[in-house]
Amino acid sequence: MGGRRATNGPEDLAARKRRARRIVAVLGDTYPDARCELDFTTPLELLVATVLSAQCTDQRVNAVTPALFRRYPDAAAYAAADRLELEALITSTGFFRQKAKTLQAIGLAVCDRFGGEVPGRLEDLVTLPGVGRKTANVVLGDAFGVPGLTVDTHLGRLARRFGWTEQTDPEKVEADLMELFPRKNWTMVSHRVIWHGRRRCHARRPACGACPVARWCPAFGEGPTDPAEAARLVRDSGRG
């Protein structure tokens, strides 16, 4: 892999674009199945699952949502839900009281202001209770096919490690990444980088010695560089 930094001295925007796009291309080869790891069939289901995923793994959310989606098939059902019953169905996702309150408020808002259908525009989605740009971009990208950058903890962390941004505020990170990638690729960029963050580029001990993009990463060496040691850190699947 080599231990050299990806850049020698200041990097202009054009060079950063080339390096960023090369990294994402290689991640595409590494994770050809990269996608949203929340199970859903409708925009509402994805919105609900994304709300539940806060401080919770996608695997846990996916274990809970089949029964939840059967019990509450539309926004009106969430709006009219018995709060205690709703809480009981989502208890294992953590922070269940606040999440139940948010889901009920979303159901009411979608019914009152959008005719019972989850809106497909960013400016509308972010007016819903508890929905910020990150959640809105998940729904837009994966339920509506509208490109969006989902700056969660993984994408933000890796964007800084890769030297794509120095920002910590998610909206500023998003703005910097918008400059690096064509709009049509934003959702794909999010999935590939998030998969890499969940499987190899961990927050505490990144698997640097088993990283397919190590040669282009300025942060190479933050984790073990020995291939055998690094390989033990690689996960077969994401954990949220």
pTM (predicted TM-score): 0.91
Is 13-35+148-231 a domain of CATH 1.10.1670.10? yes
In the chain, where the domains are located: 13-35+148-231, 43-117
B/e letters for 8-30, b = 16+ CB within 10 Å, e = fewer, are eeeeeeeebbebbeebbebbbeb
Is 43-117 a domain of CATH 1.10.340.30? yes
**pLDDT tens, 97-133?**
999 999 999 999 999 999 999 999 999 999 999 999 9
Q: pLDDT truncated to tens, each residue of the chain (240 aa)?
A: 444 444 556 789 999 999 999 999 999 999 999 999 999 999 999 999 999 999 999 999 999 999 999 999 999 999 999 999 999 999 999 999 999 999 999 999 999 999 999 999 999 999 999 999 999 999 999 999 999 999 999 999 999 999 999 999 999 999 999 999 999 999 999 999 999 999 999 999 999 999 999 999 999 999 999 999 999 999 987 665
Q: In 29-101, which ranges are E strands? A: none
CB 114 within 8 A of CB 128: no
DSSP 209: G
The CA distances from residue 220 to 156, 182, 184, 210, in Å, are: 17, 26, 29, 11
Among 58, 99, 134, 142, the active-site one is 134
12 is a catalytic site residue: no
Among 99, 152, 169, 172, the active-site one is 152
